[in-house]
Amino acid sequence: MDFRFATEVRVRFAETDAQGVAHHAVYLVWFEVARIDYLARFRGGYPELRAEGIEALTTEAHVSYLAPARFDDRLTVLCACGELRGARFRFDYLVERNGERLAEGWSHHACVDAVTHRPTRVPAWLLEEIASAES
């Protein structure tokens, strides 16, 4: 996977277990942080989608854990967006600490009308921005 976007997170004490290891569920939160930061680069990002009456729902997510993250680690979360078809799209993620792969995963999403919750196409402006960023 060719990642062209990255954001930084720091493992907070509240995100760890009694041994100081990041809890498995927090990786999905970090994926969301990266996804929102990724989208923020484009015409107002996720808030702009919502202002247009569109919600982007998460329909599926997967994480593979490769090595533990610990309290106070500074991590890089890389992400890429692809598989844009109609209302659907996918993000891929990689979590690293100083170049060491800690986790990788993906999430599937679908755009829906905020009122009816019926599927609606990813807006053309966002498709164009993502295509440009990923090429």
Q: What is the pTM of this model?
A: 0.94
Q: What is the DSSP letter of 123?
A: P
pLDDT above 90 for 44: no
Name the band, by pLDDT with cuts 50, 70 and 90, for residue 14: very high
- For 86-132, write each residue's pLDDT tens digit: 999 999 999 999 999 999 999 999 999 999 999 999 999 999 999 99
Domain annotation for the chain: domains and CATH numbers: 5-134 (3.10.129.10)
pLDDT above 90 for 1: no
61 HSE (CA, 13 A, CB side)? 15
**Residue 44 phi, psi dihedral angles, 5° rounding:** 90, -5
Classified as helix, coil or strand, 116 is: coil
pLDDT at 91: 98
Question: Could you tell me which residues come within 8 angstroms of residue 26 by beta carbon, excluding any fewer than 6 positions away?
Answer: 11, 15
- For 61-77, write each residue's pLDDT tens digit: 999 999 999 999 999 99
pLDDT above 90 for 15: yes
d(CA 67, CA 45): 31
